[in-house]
Amino acid sequence: VYIQYDLGESNAELALDYGFIELTSDRNAYTRTLEISKSDPFMAMLPYLRLVALGGTDAFLFESLFRNTTWGHLELPVSQANEELICRVVRDACIAALSGFHTTINEYRCILLNEDLKKRGNLSPRLEIVVGIRAGEKKVLRQIEEIFKERESELDTLEYSQERRLKDLGLVGNKGKSFSGNPSRNMKFSLQSLPVTKDE
C-alpha cells in the first residue's frame, strides 16, 4: 500500500496533521507572516516588498501610473535604496529568527542520527519530529538569508525604474549612458503626432 501525503505541506504541517515528518528538503519550511497569500510563488513576494519599502522620491515614480499597472512596474527593481531596504529587512528577519535557534544544524543532525539516544529511550518520537522540523526551518532561513545577501551584493548591476524609463524615452543608450551632443537631434518624435485641442 502506497500513501502519498499532500506534497505542499511542510514538515510542521505533517507533524500536526499526521504525527510524523519526512527528512527530505522538500518539506523544510519556515513560516513568517508577511500579509501575502501562501500560494504566491517566492518571487511574487518581491513586488509586495518593493511596494512596502517605497519611500522618499521613489514614491513619486508611480504617481502618474494607473493603479492597475503599478504591480507590473513593481516586478522589476524600483531604486537601489528600495532594493537595499528589502534585502536588509528580509535578512534581518531571517537573522532574528535564526537567533532563536540555540542548536546548530549539525547538533540537530547528531540528535536525529544518534542510535544510542533512541535505544535508551531518551529520544521520543515526538522529540525526533520536533528536532527534524527545527533543523528544516533553520536550513530554509539560512538559504533565504544567503539569497538576499547575494542579491544585496549585486545591487550595483541591476537596472532600476528611472533608467528603464529613460531608455523607453530614448534618452539613454543600452548601457545607461546619456547620449552625447545635441539632445534634440537624438530625440525622434513629430510635433504633428501630438494631440491638439481647439483651445490651443
Cell (9 digits) for 133: 522540523
Cell (9 digits) for 175: 548601457
Q: Which residues of 1-30 are buried (b: 16+ CB within 10 A; e: fewer)?
A: eeeeeeeebbbbbbbeeeeebeeeeebbbb
Q: Which residues pair with 178 in a beta bridge?
A: 172
Cell (9 digits) for 128: 525526533
Is 5 among the catalytic positions?
yes
Residues near 22 by beta carbon (within 8 Å), at least 6 away in sequence: 11, 14
Catalytic residue among 5, 18, 30, 108: 5
- Residues classed as catalytic: 5
